[in-house]
Amino acid sequence: MLTDAQITETSDYKYDAAGRLVEAKIPRHELEYSYADTTGCAPGDVANAGANGNRTRFTDTKDAGAPTVVNYCYDASDRLTSTSVSGAPAGASPVAGGALSTTGPSPSLTYDAHGNTTVLADQTLTYDESDPRGTKSSPTWGRSPEPHRPLT
């Protein structure tokens, strides 16, 4: 619970038997997370990716309005291969509001030989031995690359 002057905001979280977050009620949002079998994924994607702990569906209902729904697909190495998004709000970022895919002439989701994400929508990530977390470049956001450091 957060209280600021005369406003009190409460958040509520629910977890499944495996300890995964399945529901969060936070100010102005009701969030739901699913780890069920996937549908609508490409041949070669893992149908039961949720059994590995991968989130397969996310729903965000803001202010009791129309929900934003994101479905996720994964390969056998548990790498995200695609997303489908419905109901994204106007102005959503390319990561949150656009469909990601590892296929097509300009994939919006790519990995290097080590399984590190190298492209995520409009972001390019690079890695080297001295900084395994990589450096992110976000041309759409107009900021300089930011180093990502491991949490300590």
When the pLDDT of each residue in the chain is averaged and rounded to a whole number, the result is: 85
The fraction of the chain above a pLDDT of 90, given in percent, is 62
Question: For 96-105, what is the mean pLDDT?
Answer: 91
Residue 1 domain flag: no
For residue 31, what is the DSSP state? Answer: E
pLDDT band, residue 2 (cuts 50/70/90): low
pLDDT (average), residues 117-137: 77
Structural domain includes residue 21: yes
Are 13 and 23 in contact, with CB atoms under 8 Å apart?
yes
**Containing structural domain, residue 77:** 9-107
Residue 125 lies in a domain: no
Please tell me the total count of domains within the chain: 1
Q: How many other CB atoms sit within 10 Å of the CB of residue 68?
A: 20
Q: Tens digits of per-residue pLDDT, 13-64?
A: 999 999 999 999 999 999 999 999 988 899 999 999 999 899 999 999 999 9
Report d(CA 47, CA 54) in Å as an integer.
Answer: 11
Where is pLDDT greater, at 149 or 84?
84
pLDDT tier at 151, thresholds 50, 70, 90: very low
